[in-house]
Amino acid sequence: MNTVFFKNLGIINFKDAWSLQESILGSIIEKKRKKEKTKSQLLFCQHPHVYTLGKSGKKEHLLLKDSELNSEGIDFYKINRGGDITYHGPGQLVVYPVLDLDCFFTDIHRYLRCLEEVALRVLSCYGLDGVRLDGSTGVWLKNNQVGYKKICAMGVRASRWVTMHGFALNINTDLSYFDYIVPCGIKGKKVTSLSKELNKQVDPEIVKASLLKYFSEIFEVEI
């Protein structure tokens, strides 16, 4: 069984977390070149308010001017993951698996479906039936008024079958920050959180424990 090394980074600036992932990815690739054993890692964190735009995203999906971002104290980065624009902030659990997929399976589509399955199982612990939507990576909840609301956004990058970036699960997130973007570039779709769906604050430590459990089961790893 593979081993994945886990670290909870706590609250960390997005740029610092991005740099850390790049460093880990680079180290894994270097070991692969030398045919040495690699060490996959799983990082949990929260970010201060930030919008990130994936390499296939459109800047116009950010509805704030640079001056407004500055006045609101919100960072913005155009980054090297897939997907469009999303928000990270307090009350949201961000998960960054930096995995050597040569030790698992070399299939990005399968990898994304596995990440979605982790989130789906966590939601099921709270009696919520998460769903996948064709052509839209991530996890959604069905809603009678608006069709579907996204609760887990996802975007990854892989280099030499080493992954980075990952997914963000809204737990006690202030959803008003999503009003300033077109989330994931999909107009007319709404965003939700565990606390909103359950109408109460949710203990993030319980969510983290569940996520570790299901990640371990689905990827068949020791953490």
| Residue 213 CB partners (closer than 8 Å, separation 6+) | none
**Vertex 35, ends 32 and 40: CA angle to 5°?**
45
| 38 contacts: CB under 8 Å, gap ≥ 6 | 28, 31, 32, 100, 102, 103
Supply the DSSP string of 32-75, one letter for each residue: HHTTPPP-EEEEEEE-SSEEEE-TT--GGGB-S-HHHHHHHT-E
Catalytic residues: 184
Tell me how far the alpha carbon of residue 26 is from its chain's centroid. 20
CA angle 64, 68, 73 (to 5 degrees): 110
Q: Where are the beta strands (DSSP E) in 69-209?
A: 75-78, 85-88, 92-98, 130-133, 136-143, 147-159, 162-170, 190-191
8-state DSSP, 101: G
Q: CA 114, CA 192: separation in Å to the nearest integer?
A: 21
